[in-house]
Amino acid sequence: MPKVIEGHLNAEGRRFAIVAARFNSIFADQLVGGAVDSLVRHGANDDDITVVRCPGSFELPQVAARVADSLAVDAIICLGVLIRGATPHFDYIAAEAAKGIGALGTEGDIPVAFGVITCDTLEQAIERSGSKAGNKGCEAALAAIEMVNLYHDLH
Ligand code: DLZ
């Protein structure tokens, strides 16, 4: 049998920061609610969850980097909702958010989950923020819990 190392889904005693963009807040707030719900249902204490809001998804990596430096947390969950408009703006913001969040996770000491949804239509945003396609905030929180425990086991 191969030796398998994988993180379990117990968030007890772990501290989390959720960094969430306010843009498209109807949907972004749903992602925040989903992430908090996931963390608490997996054992995290309300007091161990800090929510930090920023203007838009472009700012997520900037704020998350400061959160990593200033708050004693075990993982950061970045949440944002990008909805494509008539110009290429969407692509620049999406690329910056993905690149910055990815770099922070790779270069920093703690896991950083990517809960940014990139939608071509409002309908896709509705589907991904708590209806047909689930809640991507919940999924990002689960990834963060698993990664915290995986990093712990890899030490
Ligand atoms: C400007 C902008 C646009 C057009 N669209 C979105 C979006 O769909 N989702 C999002 O999170 N943020 C958007 N923003 C705001 C930018 O992320 C950023 O806050 C501004 O460009 C200011 O730096």
Residue span of the structural domain in which 70 resides:
16-154
Cα separation, 142 vs 43, in Å, equals 12
Distance of CA 26 to the CA centre of its chain: 17
Q: Which two tokens stand for residue 132?
A: 């047909």
Q: Which two tokens stand for residue 28?
A: 């972004």
Question: What CATH number did the domain enclosing 137 receive?
Answer: 3.40.50.960
Q: Which residues are catalytic?
A: 89
CA 23 / ligand 1 centre spacing (Å):
6
Residue of 25, 29, 58, 82 with the most ligand 1 atoms within 8 Å of its CB, for mutation: 58
Provide the domain count of the chain: 1
Cα separation, 38 vs 42, in Å, equals 6
Q: Is residue 2 part of a domain?
A: no
Which pTM does this prediction carry?
A: 0.97
Q: For residue range 119-136, list pLDDT tens digits in order.
A: 999 999 999 999 999 999
Q: For residue range 12-50, list pLDDT tens digits in order.
A: 999 999 999 999 999 999 999 999 999 999 999 999 999
